A and B are shown apart, each in its own frame.
Chain A
Amino acid sequence: MLERDFFLEIFEKYKSISIIGTAKNVGKTTTLNYMINIAKNKYKLGLTSIGRDGESKDLIFSTPKPRIYVEKGTIIATAKQCIFNSDITKEILVATNLKTPIGEILIIRSLSDGFVELAGPSKNADLLKIKKILYDLNCDLVFVDGAVDRKSYAAPIVTDATILATGAAFSHDIEEVVDHTSYLVNLLSLEAENNLEIVSISKKIFKIGAIGIISSNLEMKIIEGINAREALKNIKKDLLVDFPCIVVKGIVSDNFIEELMNYANYYNRIVLLVEDSTKLFISRDVLSRFQKSGGILKVAYPIKIVGITINPKSPNGDGFSNDKFLKLLKQNIQIPVFNLLEDS
């Protein structure tokens, strides 16, 4: 089985894997359950989630949280309330002191197979702490369920690899789904800056703030400003001739790139280096014009999307032809794409 082999291979290569989705009902939980099933009996599995910053909202609208079926012996990091909504026989191992709106995050061991609910931390730093606890408890493979919101795209930064789930639930227009998915893949898998010296200089800039520019002989200048866009206005245009790399702390928007393109006469090629791709709020059109102007977008902390799973059905019943959807995605994206539903 192709899918099975693919997943077994990535489990060997990466110790922590996150799953993120383009929308609700695109098969994120199916993917997670599929992965858990394949890892069964082979790995000591640890599970958690991130990015559910709308936890309380979820409670108000009482959208049911997707349930995940785990096998006996799995280590799970989840909020207290979720523990009581799970139906496994459980042992409480560690109380982490990390709080969420639905209780402290606890680490439990499943003593039976069964359903669990996941609600992990909403901050990257906290997720790192939990990952460490899971490794300390001898987990050799950790899955992180990223919720469906912009913030959950933070999950990939703290995991070694990421699976992206997409499907008809995102839009009834197949072109739109394919376009968006391939754009998202491109954006999330932006090239990492390979020059270690530049990376180390840019980390300094991320600490100090606003923006900084780096010259070809690695000289750095910090540009002050209340935000990146204002700081950009403080750069003397001709400086970009000698400083072909511009580093931005925080969010980069369409407006910022438009502003930068006003300087296009002063550069042939310019590298725009951001912390990671979750900081980018830019449209496809602006990105493509920027690239045409000689702009190269790079990240200091790369994300590794290793595979895509699809759900051609939408929750209201209609959907796309599986073959057509697969074919279109494969034409546009250079990463393995699978329909796990069909197979199961």
Chain B
Amino acid sequence: MDYLDDTQRAVIGYSYLMNEMQIHTPYGLEVKDKVKPYKKEDSDLLIKEFDDLDKLIDIIKNQSNIIHDIEFCLSKYKDIRKFILQIQNQKILDEVELFEIKNFSLITEELIDLYKKIDFEIDKIYFRSPKPLLNFLDPQNQRMSTFFICESYSKELAYIREKKRKIEENFAKEQDEQVKELLKNERNSVVIEEKEEELRVRKELTEKLRENIFLLEDNVISVGYFDFILAKANLAIKYHGTKPEINKSLEINLEDMHNPYIQSILSKTKKSFTPISILLKFGVSIITGANMGGKTVSLHTIALNVLLAQQGFFVFAKKARIPIIQFIYSISNDLQDVSKGLSSFGAEILKINEVFQNIKDQNGLLLMDEFGKGTNPEEGTILVKTLSEYCQKLKIFTVIATHYDGIPTKNTAHYQVIGLKNVNFEKLKSKIFASQKNSVEIIQDYIDYRLEKVSYNSKVPKDALNIASLLGLKKDVIKLAKKYYN
């Protein structure tokens, strides 16, 4: 997939958000399942979509009562798509199917009334009044959700039912078993007449539905889209999403972005997500940082927000400027191919080759997480440096997270996870000794996960020994290690 595969979408938290969407109708689910990234030439449509979403969010906030009624209305819909197909395929609907079509029309009538109360007219929603259908599905204009083939459809039917009723009346009064049996037989033949006439009426009704089928089809599409965009707006409200600016310039700017999925995991241990900011220019950006420093989280959060914008969703950042791109690829050493018997290094090589073949002259985002980690550090460093140089020449955004030194050059941007840089290790150490809490948790509390822009020759912080000592590695081992550091 050109915009991450399903596993990758799950890892970055995209699938989580899709599951969080509160969709009410089968039609809305269909729209959701078919969401596609916008094409470059459709940027006007994407901008329009975001404007619509913005407008709807305002309506939800200001007219919550009506929105609540609309959602209740949506929750009443059942799936009539297969009945529409049956009508198209010349099949005669039975009473239950007619009942469902009538209910669909009644709910839609109600929904249209509510929809008129909010000022939200957009191209993708074009409700049509179901009145022409209700004129014959509800001939007595009672607007009840029940359905039956009533006598007003056919004089013949009225006559047959009256005949049936009289026989039943006599049958109920009759004591003589023999006469009763005769009445029963008589009734049976009238029942056949009734069923035949009902079939004729059903055929007529189905025919009328076929003439008006576009009403049903258009309403199914409109209900689906309305349901979907409502869910999208609610998702944005729930997780404080913002409207991204779609730019045509060559940069991705993400200010104070967050990731609802990772936040949901952190919430379980009562921790919160530290917002991350990054400005990606065309070319290569390198993220460096010590272990436990959240480089991977940064990459996932970038991927998530860029993907959301491509798909027409609000992003989770204070401010975002994102262009429409043609792909998002991510290469990390947790690639699935590893389970197929390849070494993690081998899998990375195959994947990067595939990516380079796919890119051609397209514009997109390529993320690499600790490339070459599976091979020796010396050659790993050389490889990452080479890839960085190669990618620099491609017309794409490349983000490389690495803990190797010396990868950034004057031509690449260099970001560093602040990490434990500003922490007084002695103070932290005494805090750990004084606390009952597990030391990993305390260290995590002190790590500053924000990214800061640093000069290209700024070294990767060497915190490994410090962290090892904080985690309680035996003193004589630390002492021994210090000898080598010197």
* A residues in contact (CB < 8 Å) with B: 71-72, 80, 83-84, 87, 89-95, 97, 104, 106, 109, 111-114
Contacts and interface: CB of A to CB of B under 8 A. Distances in A.
A47 to B, nearest CB: 18
A245 B24 CA distance: 49
A309 to B, nearest CB: 21
Given A111-B148, A112-B168, A113-B172, A92 B96 contact: yes
A156 to B, nearest CB: 31
Nearest to A92: B99
B146 A106 contact: no
B395 interface: no
B187 to A, nearest CB: 8
A111 B164 CA distance: 11
Nearest to A40: B172
Nearest to A86: B191
A95 B78 CA distance: 10
Given A87-B191, A91-B147, A113 B171 contact: yes
Nearest to A113: B168
Contacts of B165: 112
Contacts, number: 46
B86 to A, nearest CB: 15
B348 interface: no
B96 A83 contact: yes
B161 A95 contact: no
A113 B188 CA distance: 12
12 contacts: A83-B96, A87-B188, A89-B194, A92-B96, A92-B99, A92-B146, A95-B96, A95-B103, A106-B96, A112-B165, A112-B168, A114-B191
B251 interface: no
A106 B148 CA distance: 13
B54 interface: no
A112 B166 CA distance: 10
A7 to B, nearest CB: 18
Interface string B62-96: 00000000000000001000000000000000111
Q: How large is the interface on B (under 10, 10 to 19, 20 to 34, 35 or more residues)?
A: 20 to 34
Contacts of B188: 87
A80 B96 contact: yes
A290 B195 CA distance: 59
B245 interface: no
B100 interface: yes
Contacts of B78: 95, 97
A138 to B, nearest CB: 14
Contact of A93 (B146, B191, B194): B146
Contacts of A109: 146
Contact of A112 (B145, B161, B195): B161
Contact of A114 (B95, B99, B100, B168): B168
Contacts of A113: 168, 171-172
Contacts of B95: 83, 90, 92
Question: When A and B form their complex, which 3 residue pairs have the shortest distance between CB atoms, in order from nearest?
Answer: A91-B148, A113-B168, A92-B99
Interface string B10-49: 0000000000000000000000000000000000000000
Nearest to B190: A87
Nearest to B191: A87
Contacts of B146: 91-93, 109
A106 B146 CA distance: 11
A84 B94 contact: yes
A197 B159 CA distance: 64
A80 to B, nearest CB: 6
Given A87-B191, A114-B191, 6 more contacts: A87-B188, A93-B146, A95-B103, A112-B168, A113-B172, A114-B168
Contacts of A71: 172
A94 B165 CA distance: 25
B144 to A, nearest CB: 9
B121 to A, nearest CB: 33
A263 B195 CA distance: 67
A86 B145 CA distance: 22
Nearest to A90: B148
